[in-house]
Structure 1
Amino acid sequence: MAQPVIIAVPKGRILEEALPLLASVGILPEAAFSDESSRALSFATNQPGISLIRVRAFDVATFVAHGAAQLGIVGSDVLMEFDYSELYAPVDLGIGRCRLSIAEPVDLASRDDPRSWSHVRVATKYPNLTRKHFEARGVQAECVKLNGAMELAPKLGLSSRIVDLVSSGKTLKENGLVEVEVITEVSARLIVNRAAFKTRAAEVAPLVDGFRRAAGGKHAA
Structure 2
Amino acid sequence: MSNLLTIAMPKGRIFIEAVELLRKAGYKLPPEFDDSRKLIIDVPEEGLRFILSKPMDVATYVEHGVADVGIAGKDVLLEEERDVYELLDLKISYCYLAVAGLPDTKMNDVAPRVATKYPNVAEAYFREQGEQVEIIKLNGSIELAPIIGLSDRIVDIVSTGRTLKENGLVEYERIKDVTSRFVVNPVSYRIKDRQIDDMVKRLSEVV
The interval holding the TM-score normalised by the smaller chain is over 0.9
Aligned length: 207
Compute the RMSD of aligned alpha carbons.
Answer: 2.0
Instruction: Give the structure 2 partner of residue 91 of structure 1.
Output: 88
Deviation of 1:46 after TM superposition, in Å, equals: 5.9
CA distance in 1, matches of 2:130, 2:173: 16
Q: How does 1:27-38 map to 2 (within 5 A)?
A: 27-35=27-35, 38=36
Instruction: Give the structure 2 partner of residue 100 of structure 1.
Output: 97
Deviation of 1:175 after TM superposition, in Å, equals: 0.4
Runs of at least 5 residues in structure 1 that lack an aligned partner in the other structure: 216-221
In the TM superposition, what whole-angstrom CA distance separates every residue of 1:171-194 from its partner, at most 9, and x where no partner exists? 101101000001101111111111
CA distance in 1, matches of 2:53, 2:77: 15
The match for 1:173 among 156, 165, 170 is 165
Show structure 1 runs of 4+ deviating over 6 A. none
Q: How does 1:31-180 map to 2 (within 5 A)?
A: 31-35=31-35, 38-45=36-43, 47-84=45-82, 86-108=83-105, 112=106, 120-180=112-172
CA distance in 1, matches of 2:71, 2:46: 20
> Secondary structure in 2 aligned to 1:180?
strand
The match for 1:185 among 157, 174, 177 is 177
Runs of at least 5 residues in structure 2 that lack an aligned partner in the other structure: none
- Counting aligned pairs with the same residue, the percent is 43
Instruction: Give the structure 2 partner of residue 9 of structure 1.
Output: 9
* Pair 187,117 (structure 1): closer, same or farther in 2 beyond 3 Å: farther
Deviation of 1:127 after TM superposition, in Å, equals: 0.2
Contact between 2:91 and 2:179, CA under 8 Å: does it hold in 1?
Answer: yes
2:205 matches 1:213: yes
Contact between 1:30 and 1:46, CA under 8 Å: does it hold in 2?
Answer: no
CA distance in 2, matches of 1:118, 1:210: 53
Contact between 1:118 and 1:138, CA under 8 Å: does it hold in 2?
Answer: no
* Pair 92,119 (structure 1): closer, same or farther in 2 beyond 3 Å: farther
> Secondary structure in 2 aligned to 1:6?
strand
